[in-house]
Structure 1
Amino acid sequence: MIADRRSGLHVLDLDGTLLRSDATLSPYARDGLNALLDDGVRLTVASARSAVAIRSLLAGVRLTLPVIELGGAFLTDFATGRHLAHRTLGPEVVTAALDVLARIPAEPVLTTWDGTTDRVLHGPGRDPATAWYVAEKADYGDPRLTPCADPRAAAALTRTALLVAFVPDAEAAAVVDALEAALSGAACVLATENRYVPGWSEVQIGHPQAEKGLAVRHLTEVTGLADAHLTVYGDHLNDLPMFAVADRSVAPANAHPEVLARAGTVTAANDEDGIVRHLLEGFGGS
């Protein structure tokens, strides 16, 4: 059984799953992941965060496989940052979304890619959630951060991997409805409560195929692991697409109720390093 699992592929979400509630990786989890990797266990991460953030949050973890970033917008070589595949939005869709956000109003933050360079285009951060979103990236020295006074003009010249805006929780459902009506299926619109800035929801707009399930399948093809036993680990609704394509799904006890209902295995909570403990126990560690 252990040999079979060791020959498989393990894909882990970050926030709420591998990371603790303060968005840190514990020393125990870091050492445990490295022990697994050194022992030949094939694992990587699929996150709504960027590869830059993943590299900072997992500093010292010796990942070698590509990572899924921005919820599936990019499949990225972890060592070099080179995108192996992308699902990004064109200028017309982004302009339509910006029109809706301007009427709310909500301050947009765009993650863009011109085929060579990634940028995070942001304004002044007038609300606390947007200010937190930019400040967090500044704290770990994100080289993509770029002040931008005219996101519409910038979007016209590049591809957009992710458009983010923050709205009060009570307004999130109406904002999603307005965006979906304007975009008519040309983009996927999601809203989730921001666990780090209570009272504010993060509205994400991305390519309709920028989701973890498709990205995980592409990952297995790129790495030659299409026939490997696939186990995925997640805590939130955006992890369900990869639950749907996996042979086995695992969730920490703190996961969203719908995720817990779909998980084949439930571990201890993220603040107890439940996922890493589960992995180590499964491979004979401690």
Structure 2
Amino acid sequence: MNWLTAPGHLLVCDLDGTLLRSDTSLSDAARDGLNRLVAAGVALTVASARSTAAMRPMLPGVDLGLPVIEHNGAYISDLRTGQHLVTNALDPAIAGRAVELLGDTIVTAWDGARDRVHFGPDLNPGAGWFIGEKRRYRDPRLTETADLRAVADREQVVMLCSYVPDEDAPAVAARVQEAVGEGARVWTALNSYSAGWSEVVVQSPLATKGAAILELRQRLDLHGEITVCGDHVNDLPMFAVADRRIAPANAQPEVRATASVVTGTNDDDGVVTYLTDQLAISRRATAE
């Protein structure tokens, strides 16, 4: 039996830079490959910094039946309905303090009835790209809000994301982390879609892809190996809990360094090609 279809095995793939091409599209070949994996009995889902509202139009025709991990582990959710099965929110005081320090930030939250993405009226080019992309696919969460600090007092904040010049990002992240202490996880990474602008992200310490994968595996009663596929530093927490780690050739250096397998690039559908090749090898071996 192949490791992909072994009892209790869980396969979790990142989206941007891994399954999606550099233009954020999912190729027809990748879609068909993912559906072949699901049809073969592979327990497959995705873990992304994106929301279910963003995932749905980016995964057209993909037959994903398992819950997905969104916002880097802030939520485990039903992809079709967007219902949150698990929520890892920031403490309101911590969220408020981080907003004060970051100033111009994007606040992702739950208002008790619906998901929200709050943003201010003045956007720098990095944040402008982020909001502009969501306007293009008519993201229903977008909410222009003058007082972002007040959001932390009235809603469950699951993520803060500021876009700052690349050279400033490490210092900004360090200053926020020092202020919030162990009450939040602060990290920074280059944004491949907006040159010159890095993300500074603030989330609950519980909101990681790795922690979410372990929670999801328990909920699904899967007790076999874990295989993960990713390219970005926010994928390292799920690499840490995996038995098998797959990265495309375009992955960031620290991700490639910890990978068990490096495939072709995302623009060549390297990860899906590798996975479907492994499935085909298994089927040939069984037939022989």
TM-score interval (norm. to shorter): over 0.9
1:33 paired residue number: 34
2:228 paired residue number: 232
Question: Hey, what's the Cα distance between the residues in 2 that align with 1:192 and 1:44?
Answer: 24
Structure 1: which 5+ residue stretches go unaligned? Answer: none
Question: Hey, what's the Cα distance between the residues in 2 that align with 1:278 and 1:125?
Answer: 44
Q: Name which of 208, 213, 232 aligns with 1:211.
A: 208
Question: Hey, what's the Cα distance between the residues in 2 that align with 1:109 and 1:237?
Answer: 20
Within 5 Å, give how 1:109-128 maps onto structure 2: 109-128=106-125
Contact 1:124 1:131 (C-alpha < 8 Å) held by counterparts: no
SS in 2 for 1:183: helix
Question: Hey, what's the Cα distance between the residues in 1 that align with 2:247 and 2:64?
Answer: 21
TM-score (normalizing by structure 1): 0.94
Shift of 1:279: 0.9
TM-score (normalizing by structure 2): 0.94
Name the aligned partner's letter for residue 80 of structure 1.
T
Contact 1:120 1:146 (C-alpha < 8 Å) held by counterparts: yes
2:246 paired residue number: 250
Question: Hey, what's the Cα distance between the residues in 1 that align with 2:151 and 2:10?
Answer: 39
Name the aligned partner's letter for residue 40 of structure 2.
D
Deviations 1:40-86 (A, max 9, x none): 22101011111111111112111100000000000001122111111
Contact 1:121 1:147 (C-alpha < 8 Å) held by counterparts: yes
Q: Name which of 159, 162, 176 aligns with 2:159.
A: 162
* Alignment pair present for 1:266 and 2:262: yes
**Worse-superposed segment, 28-37 or 197-206:** 28-37
Name the aligned partner's letter for residue 246 of structure 1.
A
Name the aligned partner's letter for residue 169 of structure 2.
A
Contact 2:159 2:201 (C-alpha < 8 Å) held by counterparts: yes
Question: Hey, what's the Cα distance between the residues in 2 that align with 1:125 and 1:272?
Answer: 37
* Alignment pair present for 1:187 and 2:213: no
Deviations 1:228-283 (A, max 9, x none): 22111111121111111111111111111111111111111111100000111011
Deviations 1:76-114 (A, max 9, x none): 011221111111112211111122123xxxx11101013
* Alignment pair present for 1:93 and 2:94: yes
Contact 1:90 1:158 (C-alpha < 8 Å) held by counterparts: no
Question: Hey, what's the Cα distance between the residues in 2 that align with 1:240 and 1:130?
Answer: 24
How many residue pairs match? The answer is 280
2:286 paired residue number: none
Contact 2:100 2:149 (C-alpha < 8 Å) held by counterparts: no
Question: Hey, what's the Cα distance between the residues in 2 that align with 1:129 and 1:139?
Answer: 16
Cα RMSD between the aligned structures? 1.4
Contact 1:252 1:274 (C-alpha < 8 Å) held by counterparts: yes
Question: Hey, what's the Cα distance between the residues in 1 that align with 2:225 and 2:174?
Answer: 38
Question: Hey, what's the Cα distance between the residues in 2 that align with 1:216 and 1:116?
Answer: 26
1:144 paired residue number: 141
SS in 2 for 1:283: helix
SS in 1 for 2:21: coil
Structure 2: which 5+ residue stretches go unaligned? Answer: 284-288
Shift of 1:154: 2.0
1:5 paired residue number: 4
